[in-house]
Chain A
Amino acid sequence: MKFIVSSTLLLKQLQAISGVLSTNNTLPILDNFLFELTDSQISISASDLETTMTSRISVDMSEGEGSVAIPAKILLDTLKTLSDVPVTFDIADDNFAITLMAGEGKYKLAGQDGQEYPQVPPIESDTSFDIESDILFHAITKTIFAASTDDLRPVMAGVYCELGPDHTTFVATDAHKLVRYRRTDIKTAEGASFILPKKPLNQLKHILVQDDLPVTVEYSDTNARFTFKNIILTCRLIDGRYPNYSAVIPANNPNKMTIERVPFLNSIRRVSIFSNQTTYQVKFKIAGSELTLSAEDLDYSNEAQERLNCHYDGLDMEIGFNSKFLLEMLNNLETEQVMLSMSEPNRAGLITPVDSENEEEEILMLVMPVMLNS
């Protein structure tokens, strides 16, 4: 088996999929890229058993067919140092010894039989839908930060996708904060729902471009596959029942504060510098049309207080939050103003964008307060 391919083209493809490679693989062969050559096309795969990414490119010249596993680190390191030159891969059919030739250089390394590389699970289902690349990008970035990092609650360590005839909803939560990102322009006749793990979504985020190119999403009970340009990402879904998130979104929130997002964000960021650096708790006191933010760290006698103007409709109230959560949320919104809707100091606060330009997009962020002593 032999083929010639441009070094920069190959490197670009390898870098797009190399994020899947794990540093502590249980199977040694997973430290390799799988190269499969068929009719002047190679498909290159990287996998960690949970997620597999495959990229397909054309080669300049090819002889024979077959598959080989090539050590990922050596190949990447070599390609990174090369300028744009054609690289010849010559693979011995008997022992999978690889010879690379680039310019005046000749490099040898040992490969493995590609047949030993774990197979991508087939998706035995014809359910699929299309989504624009930039919409998927936003759906991922605006939700993934809220997903849990706690291994004890695996179902919450992913983004929940709920497909329906009226809209498509993406939800992430760690039980302290929650984001619901809804698109009314993506509809699927048959309702379905599944939980996507964080790792493949982060990989997708890196390769998606802010464009309206379509991404095809296919899914079954156990797996999902994203096809985008020449890249295919297949991942295992998180098994389990997602918590009933809609039940915890309070319906009646009579106390509504509308405020400029950026000044609000900056105030929280400043005040939280003076909060306890483990719990990051800040207190809001809202009265009339004034918001007072305060924080203190008794251990170091640090204390901060700031006042901001806001538009407030409701009863005077005092409520405390972890400022990290608020910062993440406000950073992931784009509108000039946001609304914080609350009912009681011990109940969830809802953050929503005000006057969003995008009518098909509906974002709701929920943050649980801390229990202030009464």
Chain B
Amino acid sequence: MFERTIIHLDQDTFFVSVERLQNSRLIGKPVIIGGLGDRGVVAGCSYEARQFGVHSAMPMKLARNLCQEAIFIRGDMQTYSKYSNMVTDIIAEQAPVFEKASIDEHYLDITGMDRFFGCEKWASGLRQTLIKETGLPISMGMSRNKTVSKIATGEAKPNGQLQVQPTLIHDFLDPLSIRKIPMIGAKTYHTLRTMGIATVKTLRQIPQEVMEKMMGKNGLLIWERANGIDNSPVQTWSQHKSISTETTFETDTIDIIHINQLLAGMCEQLAFRLRKKQQLTGCVTIKIRYANFDTHNLQQTIPYTSFDHILIPVCRELFRRLYTRRMLIRLVGIQFSRLVRGVQQLNMFEETPELINLYQAIDRMRNKHGSNIIHRALTSTNPNHKP
């Protein structure tokens, strides 16, 4: 078996970079993107803002306190998706095998390409093309597998590239903080730090069995990552197993009428996404988070569908059954899972031709003018709706 060559491409401060493309006055200033309410979280921030200690997923309230002079932007997912797709299209054109890992991340498997092009030369060329065509800064890591490439990208930022030769993987990883390993989040980091483990070198020298005893299967995986082992393939196509949406209220609420309206609106939007992607759902899950952060789920399997008028009553019924504690609600969410490819099977007794024509007309309008252009009157208090 010959050595694999995996590239990881990651846009630097993707949301901020897109905003800066559209408004050059943002360049060089601290920019924070995310929900603007007190309960919003930071979705992205510029390097200038990071100097103040702001990082993504931080509560907006805290970010405001840390960096008062920052420019706060609500963000527009549709524009970001557009740029993200531009990047994906260019990669799809040139790379033999690639995986879109998130909105701003791609993995490429270019194993065997050095015979013809020289991997590094080809990869640099691709990165330059991407920067030139989209105008967005992009960092790149290249190595034997996904984990090492991703860590390399992290080290190459901002707007750089780094190749880690297979023989030098340990030399590269060993001095790094264990925090750099993608699997280690705040909690695992804390556990390991209390054990006195700070660098990847210490981590990889721990016997495998000790890691397994301590953290189970995950421990083994972390140990492998620290040793630069990762055999996971670059998956060309990863199907979304579910789609979901949730809303956190500005202030905790028990206004059931409002919540029901909101659920209908959320359901309507999700169902439209299903139809757009030609998918059907076979399982609906409702999530409630109470004011004290207790979170409850309830799900139901249903015959495959993508029609709002079938899904909305299911969501409402699930919510009715799930909301048993007379406590303020902080968040409600809807998830559609068991997704399959296909379009709606029509029902002879319940769906009149007029109703189907209505669905088609509404979907055509939404495809042309955006999904918020039209919605059910009963959902008109939907706070996501921009008049």
> Which A residues contact B (CB, under 8 angstroms)?
150, 173, 175-176, 178, 243, 248, 276, 278-279, 281, 297-299, 320, 322, 344, 346-348, 366, 368-374
Contact = CB atoms under 8 A, between A and B. Distances in A.
Interface-centre pick from B237, B340, B345, B346 (highest chain A CB count, 10 A): B345
B207 interface: no
A321 to B, nearest CB: 9
B349 interface: yes
Contact of B341 (A173, A175, A279, A347): A279
B349 A322 contact: no
Nearest to B344: A371
Contacts of B346: 176, 346, 368-371
B348 A370 contact: no
Interface-centre pick from A178, A322, A371 (highest chain B CB count, 10 A): A371
B123 interface: no
Contacts of B363: 373
B345 A346 contact: no
Nearest to B237: A299
B379 to A, nearest CB: 22
Contact of B345 (A176, A298, A344, A347): A176
Contact of B304 (A173, A279, A346, A371): A279
B343 A370 contact: yes
A346 B278 contact: no
Contact of A371 (B340, B343, B349): B343
A299 B346 CA distance: 23
A374 B364 contact: yes
Which are the 10 A-B pairs with shortest beta-carbon distances? A279-B342, A278-B340, A368-B346, A248-B348, A371-B344, A175-B347, A346-B356, A276-B341, A370-B343, A368-B348
A94 B357 CA distance: 73
A173 B348 contact: yes
A175 B275 contact: no
Given A278-B342, A373-B343, A374-B364, A178 B348 contact: yes
B91 to A, nearest CB: 19
B52 interface: no
B343 A176 contact: no
Interface of B: 237, 239, 275, 278, 280, 303-304, 340-350, 353, 356-357, 359-360, 363-364
Given A371-B356, A371-B359, A373-B278, A175 B348 contact: yes
22 contacts: A175-B349, A176-B348, A248-B349, A276-B342, A278-B341, A279-B341, A281-B342, A281-B343, A297-B341, A298-B341, A299-B237, A299-B239, A299-B341, A320-B343, A346-B353, A348-B348, A370-B346, A371-B343, A371-B356, A373-B278, A373-B363, A374-B364
B343 A278 contact: no
A28 B32 CA distance: 71
Contacts of B303: 150
A324 to B, nearest CB: 10
**Per DSSP, are chain B's interface residues mostly helix, strand or loop, or mixed?**
mixed
Contact of B347 (A298, A368, A372): A368
Nearest to A283: B343
Given A175-B350, A344-B353, A346-B356, A370 B345 contact: yes
Contacts of B343: 279, 281, 320, 370-373
Contacts of A373: 275, 278, 343, 360, 363
Given A279-B340, A368-B347, A371-B346, 15 more contacts: A173-B348, A175-B349, A175-B350, A248-B348, A278-B340, A278-B341, A279-B304, A281-B343, A346-B346, A368-B348, A370-B342, A370-B343, A370-B345, A371-B343, A373-B275
Contacts of A371: 343-344, 346, 356, 359-360
Contacts of A346: 346, 353, 356-357, 360
Contacts of B360: 346, 371, 373-374
A374 B359 CA distance: 11
Contacts, number: 70
A372 B360 CA distance: 9
A368 B356 CA distance: 12
A276 B340 contact: yes
Contacts of A372: 343
Contacts of B280: 279
Contacts of A322: 345
Given A248-B349, A346-B346, A370-B344, A278 B304 contact: yes
B241 to A, nearest CB: 12
Contacts of A175: 347-350
Interface-centre pick from A173, A243, A248, A278 (highest chain B CB count, 10 A): A278
Contacts of B364: 374
Contacts of A374: 360, 364
A363 to B, nearest CB: 18
A371 B347 CA distance: 10
Contacts of B239: 299
A64 B36 CA distance: 92
A366 B353 contact: no
A178 B275 CA distance: 26
Interface-centre pick from B280, B303, B342, B364 (highest chain A CB count, 10 A): B342
Contacts of B344: 370-371
Contacts of A320: 343
Nearest to A153: B349
A299 B344 CA distance: 18
Contacts of A370: 342-346
A285 B353 CA distance: 20
A369 B356 CA distance: 12
A122 B18 CA distance: 80
Contact of B353 (A243, A276, A347): A347
Contacts of B349: 175, 243, 248
B87 to A, nearest CB: 22
A235 to B, nearest CB: 25
A19 B353 CA distance: 43
Nearest to B356: A346
A366 B237 CA distance: 38
A366 B360 CA distance: 23
Contacts of B356: 346, 371
